[in-house]
Amino acid sequence: MMKRLNLGIGVMLILLLAGAALAQTETDRFFPDSTKGYVAVSNVNDLRAHWRQTALGQVLLSDSFMEFRQSILSGVEKTWTGRVGMSIRDTLDLASGEAAFGFVANPGQIPGFVVAIDVTEKKKEVDDFLSRMIRQAFEKKTGTSKKETLKVGNRSVPVTVMVFPPDNNYPAQRTAYYVLTDRFLLASDQKELIQQILELMLRVPSGPKPLASNKAYSMTMQRCAADFPTAHDPQIRFFVQPLELGKAITLLAQSAPGSQPKQDTSGQTPFDILANHGMGAIEGVGGTVDFASDDMEFVTRTKVYAPEGLRGTNMLSFIDDLKLNAPDWVEGDVNSATVVNIDLLNLFNRIGPLFDDFVKTENLWEDTLKGLEEDEGGPRVNLKTQLVGNLGSQITTFRRTHDGKEAFVGGIQVKPGKDAVIAEVFHRMFDTDADFQQVPYGSGTIWYYAPQPKRQSRSRRGQAASAQANPPVFVKNAFYVGDGNIFFATDIDALKETVENKRSGSVAPLSESPTYKTVSSYIQKFSGTGHSFQFYSSNHAGLRTNYNLFRTGKLLEGDTLLSQILQRVYPDKNMNVPILDNGSKLPPFESFESRMGATGAFGKNESDGFFLKSFGLTADQLR
C-alpha cells in the first residue's frame, strides 16, 4: 500500500540532494477539484537553494554525508515504484520550475495519480526521458509503447502511452500516459485524468472545476498567506481532504491485483464512520512549508478548515490559554515536551456512539460503563463522574534520555483535591486484575501494565514461550496518582524520578531553561491571543543516542523508544535490514551537534477551524 503513495517522497528527497526567483503556483488551477491529496513545489531550484541555506541542509549536503546520502538514495530508488515510471532523479533533472503531485478520486472511478512538472527550456531532457521510458517499456515482451490522441475541446492532443510489465518492485502491469504541453510535462496512470487536466488548461467550458476553486483549499491557503510577514509564494504547499483521501486510498487498495476481498459487508469504511460522527466537519487540511524563511530554519503553517470550528466535530474541543506552559514537574534536560489543553469530559461523552459503530455492536459502550458501575463482581466505579469528571484539561508529555535509556513520561491534570478519589478508582479497577502489577510508593501505589501469559494447552506451550520471549513494546506502562496528576511512563524509574524531583525541587524545571524560554517567547508572539497546543524540542541527547546506535549498527539492540519499535518490526536480531547498514557511512554526531537549534510549535482555535504553526530556530538564535 505504501508503495502506491511514494510519488510524494520525491518532494522531500529533493531536499537531500546538492545541486531564484519565486514563481507563482499554477498547478492548482489545472488540477481538478476532485484532487484529494496535493503537494506542490513552487520552484524546485528555489527550494533547493533555500534548503542549502539552512544549518541542517548544510550538514546533510556536506561531503561527510555524501556517501550516506548516495546510499540512502540508491536504496530508495530500488524500491521506488514510480507508478508513472518517473524516478526521483527524473523529477530533479526535468523540473525547471514548479513540480506538483496529486491523488485524484473522481466519483465512481478508481483513484489515480497525477504528476505535473514545469519543464520550460528542458525540451532535450524531456525527449531523452521519454525515449528512455519507451526503451524500458520494450525491455520485456509484455511492455508496449504507442501514440494516441485525445480530443480536448476543438483540439487534438498527442499522448504517449506506455505499458510497463511487472517487476520486482511493482507486481502488477502499469500503464502511464504522458503529455507535453508548451510548459508542463503531465503524467498519470489514468487517461481520464490527463483529459481533465487538459480541459482545465485549455479552459474547456464543459471541463471540471479546478482545485483552486475548492473552498476548503482556498480558505486554507488564504489563512496561511495571512500569516506571512511579507507577501510571497510559499516554497511548498499541501492540501488534503482527510476523510475523502482515506476512502480513496481504501478503494485503491481494494482494487489492487491480488488484494483481499472486502470484509465489511455494510459498505462503510472507517472514514465513513468518522464522517457520520461529526469528523466530516473538517473539510480540508492545507498548509505551507518554507526553508530559510522569516529569519528561521523553517516555518510550516497548517490550517484545519472546519467552517463551524472544531467544536462542529462534536468530540474535539480544545481550550486556548494565554499562559499555556510546561508544568514544573517537566525537567530541564528533556528531549522534547508537548502540552495540550482539551475538554476531556466532552470527548468522553461523545465517544460512545463512535466506539459502538467501529466495533459494530449497538450500545456496547454504555453497557460496558454500566457493567463497571453495577456488576457485583466488577470494580463498582462510575468512570464519568469519579474519573473523567475529576480531571483537568491539561495533558503534558515529554521524552528524555539518561545513560542511553529513553523514556516517555506524561501527566494528566487532576482537579484540586481529587487525587484520592482517582487513586481509589485505580485501586478498584486494577487491584484484582492479574495484568496490572503493584509497587508501593510512598503513601500510594504505582500500577504497571504487564500482561500475564495465558494458560495454554500442552500443544501450544511452545507458542506461549515464544510470545513471552518477545513481549509487546512498552509492556510495563506505569501509572501513579499524586501531586495533582495522573502520571504515566514507559519506565517505572523514570516515573519515580519525575515525581521525586517535583517534590524535592532539586531539579530546575524546563520552564526555567533559557532555550525553552526563547522558544516560548516566539510561540507567545506568534499565537497572540493564546493557544491550546504547544510543542518544544531542543535537547540533543535523544537524537545523539539514536544516531550513535544507528552509526554503530546497534539500533536493534538499543534501549530507546525507536529501538523498541524496531525490535517489534524486526524481532530476529540476525535479520538483514538494508537501511540499517547505512549508518556506518555517517560522520560523528559531535562534528555537527553545535549547529543544531531548537523547534517550537503551537496550535490555536479559530472560528472556522484550527491553525498550527511550527518553526525552527538556529543555534545562533539560541545563544
- For the residues 458-470, what does the mean pLDDT come to? 43
Q: Give the tens place of pLDDT for each residue, 559-618.
A: 888 888 888 777 776 666 666 777 888 889 998 988 889 999 999 999 999 999 999 999
- Backbone dihedral angles phi then psi of residue 478, each to the nearest 5 degrees: -100, 150
Comparing 17 with 363, the larger pLDDT belongs to: 363
Distance CA 79, CA 91 (A): 16
Residue 139: pLDDT band (50, 70, 90) is low
In Å, how far are 22, 286, 299, 368, 416 from 234, measured between CA atoms? Answer: 9, 12, 10, 50, 46
Q: Give the tens place of pLDDT for each residue, 57-104.
A: 998 888 888 888 777 777 666 655 567 878 878 888 899 999 999 999
Comparing 540 with 480, the larger pLDDT belongs to: 480
- For the residues 188-197, what does the mean pLDDT come to? 94
Cα–Cα–Cα angle for 430, 431, 436, nearest 5°? Answer: 55
Contact 175, 162 (CB under 8 A): yes
Residue 141: pLDDT band (50, 70, 90) is low
Beta strands in 499-608 (DSSP E): 533-537, 598-606
For residue 175 the three cell numbers come to 500503464
Comparing 464 with 122, the larger pLDDT belongs to: 122
Distance CA 301, CA 93 (A): 29
* One-letter amino acid of 520: S
Sequence spans of domains, the chain: 2-213, 327-332+359-508, 541-593
For residue 87 the three cell numbers come to 524516478
Q: Give the tens place of pLDDT for each residue, 215-263.
A: 999 999 999 999 998 888 899 999 999 999 999 888 888 776 655 545 4
Q: Which of 188, 183, 213, 205 is nearest to 28 (CA)?
A: 213
Predicted local distance difference test score (pLDDT) of residue 454 = 60
Predicted local distance difference test score (pLDDT) of residue 441 = 92
Evaluate if residue 16 carries a pLDDT over 70. no
Instruction: Give the mean pLDDT of the chain.
Output: 85
pTM, two decimals, is 0.87
DSSP-assigned letter for residue 570: -
- Backbone dihedral angles phi then psi of residue 292, each to the nearest 5 degrees: 45, 55
For residue 90 the three cell numbers come to 527524473
* One-letter amino acid of 489: A
For residue 322 the three cell numbers come to 494565554
N-term to C-term CA, the chain? 45
Q: Give the tens place of pLDDT for each residue, 301-312.
A: 999 999 999 988
For residue 19 the three cell numbers come to 545541486
Spell out the residues 6+ positions from residue 157 whose beta carbon is closer than 8 angstroms to its own: 149, 150, 151, 179, 198
Predicted local distance difference test score (pLDDT) of residue 464 = 40
Predicted local distance difference test score (pLDDT) of residue 575 = 67
Percent of the chain beyond pLDDT 90? 54
Comparing 20 with 365, the larger pLDDT belongs to: 365
Contact 208, 199 (CB under 8 A): yes
For residue 342 the three cell numbers come to 482539551
Percent of the chain beyond pLDDT 70? 86
> What is the residue whose three cell numbers read 520525491?
10
Helical H segments across 326-436, by residue range: 344-359, 364-374, 419-430
